[in-house]
Amino acid sequence: MKICVIGSGYVGLVAGTCFAESGNNVICVDVDQEKIEGLKRGVIPIYEPGLKELVLRNCEEGRLSFTTDLEAAVKESLVNFIAVGTPPGADGSADLQYVLNVARSIGQHMESFKIIVDKSTVPVGTADKVRVAVAEELAKRGVDIEFDVVSNPEFLKEGAAIDDFMKPDRVVIGTDNVRTAEIMKELYSAFMRKSNRLITMDIRSAEMTKYAANAMLATKITFMNQIANLCELMGADVMAVREGIGSDSRIGYDFLFPGVGYGGSCFPKDVKALAKTAEECDYDFILLKAVEEANARQKRVLPDKIAARLGNGGPKPLAGKVIATWGLSFKPRTDDMREAPSVTIIDALLELGAEVRAHDPEAIKEAKKVFGERIGYSHNQYDILKGADALVIITEWNEYRNPDFDRIKSLLINPLIFDGRNLYQPHRMKLEDFEYLPIGRNG
């Protein structure tokens, strides 16, 4: 099948590449000339395990190509995915200008029947707006060409994007047209070989499904973060509690790891956008507001704990203290710094007067765009520990799970670890003679 994916960001690039891998002819489009030129040379703009190999192979085999020429891509393709960004606007609602611009461009250039697929995360009702935008352009041209709009939200996770796309828990297709549903089924059939996980529904429900899923996951994490805070106060162990409740199949073990608050390009933005949608309908979604507020507070848990343990009063209680942090990206296996809790945590530590040095296996380049010269960086996780007052773990990269504790101890001034991700066992840390402060359990 001939398809084009407009917007070669995280979702667009992964989707386009995976569709090419399953035999389709895919053109990925972007307005960013530099990005497209890079992709043509095999330079992948994001860090995503396995993506580079797939891009190179499919380009070599002629199934995947990159262009800034939207017009040519649309003319050639039956299915046109819109996968451009929907950043939060000033009021928290999703900014649809990029999606609607693409819709208008499609309307300006299409010459035959097109299926237009909203892949970007967009509020309920967007498919209708896309339909109107395309129809207006066709009317301006004085032509009558058939087209159909589909909602096909994406559920992939960064760091596991290829697997999530090729072995999805489900694929949601929102359409009111039987023929279009069949074409979409065919397109996804390569990823449904084990069992059919394709769910078709009406367009508005598909649009809502995406927000409901992310809001539910954000709520689950936030609930556990608050239970963790309470465990700390009550002398309970949140990791034991997680096992205790996760064994109930209605609850499950996933997404119950307490930490430094959720981040990334999706949860914060989508929770805000859904709250905004509710507001526009005069519905008071009090739970979502609480999730947002609780998550903002969770990002302060680590700096407050550090100030309480190491601070010496005054307006800059951490003045003269050196804090070494492990992990900058919002989660492991990505270099993505968008809404990373590390930003709030490190900004707070700097505000409290500390000197901060950071390590991350992949995100240092991106982090430099955020922190500049305000903090120190090293590509070696041990270098930054020399003479530091404490080690703070912010992101759970695998390389932090079994470190050389003797080496850490010999480098730090105090054998003190604040662990925002509960990577170690408190009893083991006691044996290693560390003062260990995890989240929601006594060290």
Cite the active site residues. Answer: 266
Binding residues for ligand UGA restricted to 217-236, rule: CB under 6 A: 217, 221
Residue 50 annotated as lining a ligand binding site: no
Residue 156 annotated as lining a ligand binding site: yes
User: Whole-angstrom Cα distance, residue 20 to residue 18?
Assistant: 5
Do strands 376-378 and 355-359 pair parallel, antiparallel, or not at all (unpaired)? parallel
Query: From the list 14, 156, 301, 350, which residue makes contact with ligand UGA (rule: CB under 6 A)?
Result: 156
Query: From the list 264, 361, 403, 440, which residue makes contact with ligand UGA (rule: CB under 6 A)?
Result: 264
Query: From the list 47, 147, 262, 424, which residue makes contact with ligand UGA (rule: CB under 6 A)?
Result: 262
Binding residues for ligand UGA restricted to 333-362, rule: CB under 6 A: none
User: Whole-angstrom Cα distance, residue 203 to residue 83?
Assistant: 17
Decide if residue 157 touches ligand UGA (CB under 6 A): yes
- Candidates 94-102, 152-160, 356-364, 374-382: pick the segment binding ligand UGA (CB under 6 A): 152-160
Query: From the list 3, 122, 266, 301, which residue makes contact with ligand UGA (rule: CB under 6 A)?
Result: 266
- CA-CA-CA-CA dihedral for 159, 402, 254, 165, to nearest 10: 20
CB of 421 to ligand UGA, least distance (A): 8
Query: From the list 9, 259, 303, 438, which residue makes contact with ligand UGA (rule: CB under 6 A)?
Result: 259
Q: Between residues 339 and 355, which has the closer beta carbon with respect to ligand UGA? A: 339
Query: From the list 123, 168, 263, 403, which residue makes contact with ligand UGA (rule: CB under 6 A)?
Result: 263
Q: Between residues 114 and 276, which has the closer beta carbon with respect to ligand UGA? A: 276
CB of 430 to ligand UGA, least distance (A): 25
Q: Between residues 139 and 240, which has the closer beta carbon with respect to ligand UGA? A: 240
Residue 86 annotated as lining a ligand binding site: yes
Place of tokens 């979604």: 285
Binding residues for ligand UGA restricted to 103-122, rule: CB under 6 A: 121
Binding residues for ligand UGA restricted to 314-333, rule: CB under 6 A: 330-331
Binding residues for ligand UGA restricted to 52-91, rule: CB under 6 A: none
Residue 259 annotated as lining a ligand binding site: yes
Annotated binding site for substrate, which residues? 155-158, 210, 255-259, 263, 331
List interacting residues with ligand UGA (CB under 6 A).
121, 154-158, 214, 217, 221, 255-257, 259, 262-264, 266-267, 330-331
Annotated binding site for NAD(+), which residues? 30, 35, 86, 121, 158, 269, 338
